[in-house]
């Protein structure tokens, strides 16, 4: 074999070896690529599962958050109600404390008043004090009533004295104030006198003269012989012109 043939053989051998090497390299690269592809596919599947799991967990967390928010809102509302109740309870307690203080003050005032009353009673029972007070009030009422009666009597006596003094002064002259008007209440024809329903209080005086009428008829004259406060005795004068009867009018 010539050198050229040997050279060509070596070239062919080297080419074959290179081709084999390249084929082996390509095969190895393909195998690695497929393995990488499987790994990538497996990783993608795992990632997809993780994403699905994360979504489920996120949904659960969202639901749990919504439930927690709802519970928190309810808890806050309950806390607000409790705070309102607490405020009301505190006000009630404050009012109750003020009421207790007022009651204590009132009790102390009542005790002080009772001590003062017991001191005033000087050892007597309230019943004894009430009985004495009632008797004193009754005595006072009786005394005031008697005082009123005596004052009325005094006033009447003073009026009567004044009337009598005036009557005495007028009796001395036999004058009577104008306007006397009364009636005959009794007639005694045997002793020739009548009783009248007017007296000192009306201005009638002893020795005073009155005239007697029945309707418009003049019957005669009377002369007063005795006078009391509200009635008088009068003598029928001789010039009488008619029969005097009970109910006839007298005037001056």
Give the pLDDT confidence of 119-136 residue by residue, as tens digits: 776 777 778 878 888 998
Q: Which residues contact 174 (CB under 8 A, 6 or more apart)?
A: 205, 207, 208, 209
Q: Does 156 have pLDDT greater than 90?
A: no
Q: Is the pTM of this model over 0.85?
A: no
pLDDT of residue 187: 97
* CB-facing half-sphere around the CA of 32: CA atoms within 13 A: 6
Q: Does 58 have pLDDT greater than 90?
A: no
Q: What are 158-189's pLDDT values in tens digits?
A: 877 776 777 677 666 667 889 999 999 999 99
pLDDT of residue 120: 74
Q: Residue 237 has what DSSP assignment?
A: P
Question: Among 53-57, 101-105, 204-208, whose mean pLDDT is lowest?
Answer: 101-105
Assess contact for 163 and 230: CB atoms under 8 A.
no
In whole angstroms, give the CA distance from residue 119 to residue 121. Answer: 5
Element spanning 251, H or E: strand 249-251
Phi, psi of 16 (to 5 degrees): -65, -45
In whole angstroms, give the CA distance from residue 101 to residue 107. Answer: 10
Phi, psi of 249 (to 5 degrees): -85, 145
Q: Does 32 have pLDDT greater than 70?
A: yes
pLDDT (average), residues 202-231 = 94
Nearest CA among 196, 202, 185, 181 for reference residue 252: 181
């Amino acid at each position: 074999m010539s050198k050229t043939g040997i050279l060509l053989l070596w070239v062919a051998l080297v080419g074959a070896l290179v081709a084999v090497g390249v084929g082996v390299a390509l095969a190895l690269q393909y195998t690695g690529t497929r393995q990488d592809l499987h790994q990538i596919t497996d990783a993608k599947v795992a990632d997809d599962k993780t994403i699905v799991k994360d979504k489920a967990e996120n949904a659960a967390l969202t639901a749990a958050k919504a439930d927690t928010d709802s519970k928190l809102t309810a808890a806050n509302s309950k806390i607000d109600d409790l705070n309102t109740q607490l405020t009301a309870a505190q006000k009630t307690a404050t009012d109750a404390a003020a009421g207790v203080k007022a009651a204590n003050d009132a009790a102390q005032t009542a005790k002080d008043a009772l001590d003062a009353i017991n001191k005033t009673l000087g050892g007597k029972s309230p019943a004894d004090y009430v009985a004495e007070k009632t008797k004193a009030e009754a005595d006072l009422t009786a005394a005031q009533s008697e005082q009123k009666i005596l004052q009325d009597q005094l006033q009447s006596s003073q009026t009567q004295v004044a009337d009598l003094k005036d009557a005495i002064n007028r009796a001395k002259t036999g004058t009577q104030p104008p306007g006397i008007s009364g009636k005959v209440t009794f007639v005694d024809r045997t002793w020739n006198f009548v009783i009248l329903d007017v007296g000192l209080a009306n201005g009638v005086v002893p020795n005073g003269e009155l005239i007697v009428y029945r309707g418009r008829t003049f019957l005669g004259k009377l002369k007063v012989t005795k006078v009391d406060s509200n009635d008088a005795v009068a003598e029928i004068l001789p010039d009488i012109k008619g029969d005097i009867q009970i109910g006839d009018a007298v005037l001056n």
